[in-house]
Structure 1
Amino acid sequence: MLFEQDMTRIHELMVILYAASIMFYFIDFLNQNKKANQIAFSMLSIVWVLQTIFLFLYMKQTGRFPVLTLSEGLYFYAWILITLSLVMNRLLRMDFMVFFTNVIGFVIMAIHAFAPVQVESQAMAEKLFSELLFIHITMAILSYGAFSLSFIFSLLYLLQHRLLKMKKWSHRLWRIGDLQKLAKLSYIFNAIGVPILLLSLILGLTWKCMKLPDVSWFDVKIVASVVLLTIYSVFLYLKVRRGVYEKTLAQLNCAAFVIVLINFFLVSRFSSFHFWYA
């Protein structure tokens, strides 16, 4: 009981700091405020530390890595986003990428915070737990993290493209980054995400054959994952093939990310494959 209360307090503090960090990043986005940027980065770093502490305490309490229910998956997804955004910001100094990435991260954290406790799902997940299933889900969420950053860079590409077309020579134009770099980073993260998702799908199908042989091969989760993998593979093919406008690729990438969100949040609820995850 005391553990649950402590976890609730840590979680509430994280959500508050996360919201404040995004607010200060938004102030910097509007007014190029260096002080606001520093405060936002400091708060975001504190949120990451608290998230990491929460993960370790939860792992100690449950004796496993927390990815086997939708609530746990949401939390791990948010942790991946904030980790990647901090690392990329340190390497590339792209503040707007951090801002947009963590808007997504905050939405996911908010959904996790107010989602009902999944007692039955947790019990079922622990009953079905195996290393193969754990690796399958972890790799899937990691691929979603890579696709999320790819989406952010495509979004920034479209924003920058629009600013250039409208000839709005403001400070935002220089801080977003050049189009070629944004397109390249979007491609790189998709190139990382596709093989991880492919391996996750292979492991998931192997686990299905071993544990759930009665589940149809045309289950909505399996079909949606194959469709998602196909769309991102087509993106990579079009990118390598050349002759396709970068703006078109960026638009395709943004549309593909919508399918990522649908696959993550909605599809499992109608699936017999991830029935404990709904």
Structure 2
Amino acid sequence: MFDLVLARLPELVIVIYALSILLYFIDFVDHNRKANTLAFRLLLIVWTLQTIFLFMYMTSTGRFPVLTIFEGLYFYTWVLITISLVLHHIFKVDFTVFFTNLIGFSFMAIHAFAPIQRSSVSAEQLMSELLLIHITMAILSYGAFSVSFVFSGLYLLQFKLLKEKRWKKKLWRLADLAKLEKASFILNTVGVPMLLLSLILGLRWALIKLPHFHWYDPKIIGSFFLLIVYGFLLYAYAKRVMFGRKLALWNAVAFLCVLINFFLISGLSKFHFWFS
């Protein structure tokens, strides 16, 4: 019975999630406040069910669920929903939740139709407090970068509407450009130190646990490159070396690097069994 619930709960979540995204899209197109309210309530249900599933999974496995790609994608989606709900109350940008959860739903769909526990190395073999914290912090940093990308996307949309003098209702629901740029900067400010700490802990774990460790591993190079890119974006914003539309475009490029590092480069790594 317990295994059946674990198997069916994600399916229920993705159906409710799809309905929520559909209602957010209706609100996006037609400025329908009833659809927005219902979509937000459904998203709260999704978050609640996901949280219940995570606790049930932890109870079943006896560990924090981030050690395989099956678990990691689910946790990443939970992080995105959590961040979007929090930011919805802080920044009051209507479309943040919609666009953030388009990303979240995409990863949830990948999770739902992927073979369970694809990793070639069992989670028990990888068990380590250092590794758990390393992976968790990496996923949290990716979540922050993802929502930062959403704010940059909204900035570019707002900029386009203003430049074309298209005074529509959507314009007033996107928040002003300065607010969108600031929100993106804050999320990157959270993501960069998380990624740095994650790399430090991951390297420490590798040096202790792995008999054959290479500093030139593609995943290590890719992760440090990602850190440099986002570090530069923080410096450019703080010193006003780069700002506005150009900064938003570069932030979008940086998120593309996140996706490449998350999926492509991880598969090339010699010791990142999590994505084997």
User: What is the alpha-carbon distance in structure 2 between the residues aligned to residue 186 and residue 120 of structure 1?
Assistant: 34
CA displacement at 1:8 relative to structure 2: 2.2
| 1:154-173 matches, cutoff 5 A | 154-173=152-171
Deviation string 1:121-149 (CA, Å, 9 cap, x unpaired) is 4x522112110000000000010011011
Are the counterparts in 2 of residues 136 and 200 from structure 1 also a CA contact under 8 Å?
yes
User: What is the alpha-carbon distance in structure 2 between the residues aligned to residue 118 and residue 98 of structure 1?
Assistant: 30
CA displacement at 1:71 relative to structure 2: 1.0
CA displacement at 1:244 relative to structure 2: 2.1
Question: Helix, strand or coil: the match of 1:9?
Answer: helix
- 1:224 is aligned to 222
- 2:40 is aligned to 41
- 2:23 is aligned to 24
1:253 aligns with 2:245: no
Shifted more, 214-223 versus 173-182: the winner is 214-223
Q: Which among 143, 146, 162 is matched to residue 145 of structure 1?
A: 143
CA displacement at 1:92 relative to structure 2: 2.4
Flag the 1:244–1:92 CA change in 2: closer, same or farther, 3 A. closer
| 1:106-185 matches, cutoff 5 A | 106-118=105-117, 121=120, 124-185=122-183
Deviation string 1:183-212 (CA, Å, 9 cap, x unpaired) is 001001001100110000011111111111
User: What is the alpha-carbon distance in structure 2 between the residues aligned to residue 136 and residue 276 of structure 1?
Assistant: 12
User: What is the alpha-carbon distance in structure 1 between the residues aligned to residue 261 and residue 211 of structure 2?
Assistant: 22
Q: CA RMSD in A?
A: 1.2
Deviation string 1:44-80 (CA, Å, 9 cap, x unpaired) is 0000000000000000000000000111110000000
Are the counterparts in 2 of residues 14 and 47 from structure 1 also a CA contact under 8 Å?
yes
Q: Give TM-score, length-normalised by structure 1.
A: 0.96
| 1:70-81 matches, cutoff 5 A | 70-81=69-80
Are the counterparts in 2 of residues 124 and 276 from structure 1 also a CA contact under 8 Å?
no
Deviation string 1:137-175 (CA, Å, 9 cap, x unpaired) is 000001001101111100000000000001000000000
User: What is the alpha-carbon distance in structure 2 between the residues aligned to residue 142 and residue 248 of structure 1?
Assistant: 26
User: What is the alpha-carbon distance in structure 1 between the residues aligned to residue 115 and residue 124 of structure 2?
Assistant: 18
CA displacement at 1:9 relative to structure 2: 1.7
User: What is the alpha-carbon distance in structure 2 between the residues aligned to residue 120 and residue 173 of structure 1?
Assistant: 45
Are the counterparts in 2 of residues 68 and 277 from structure 1 also a CA contact under 8 Å?
no
Question: Helix, strand or coil: the match of 1:176?
Answer: coil
- Unpaired segments ≥5 residues, structure 2: none
The amino acid across from 1:114 in the alignment is: F
Are the counterparts in 2 of residues 161 and 179 from structure 1 also a CA contact under 8 Å?
yes
CA displacement at 1:213 relative to structure 2: 4.1
CA displacement at 1:265 relative to structure 2: 1.8
Shifted more, 111-120 versus 61-70: the winner is 111-120
Aligned residue pairs, count: 276
Q: Give TM-score, length-normalised by structure 2.
A: 0.97
- 1:83 is aligned to 82
Are the counterparts in 2 of residues 160 and 173 from structure 1 also a CA contact under 8 Å?
yes
1:273 aligns with 2:243: no
The amino acid across from 1:29 in the alignment is: F
Instruction: After the TM superposition, list the runs of 4 or more consecutive aligned residues in structure 1 that deviate by more than 4 angstroms.
Output: none
1:9 aligns with 2:8: yes
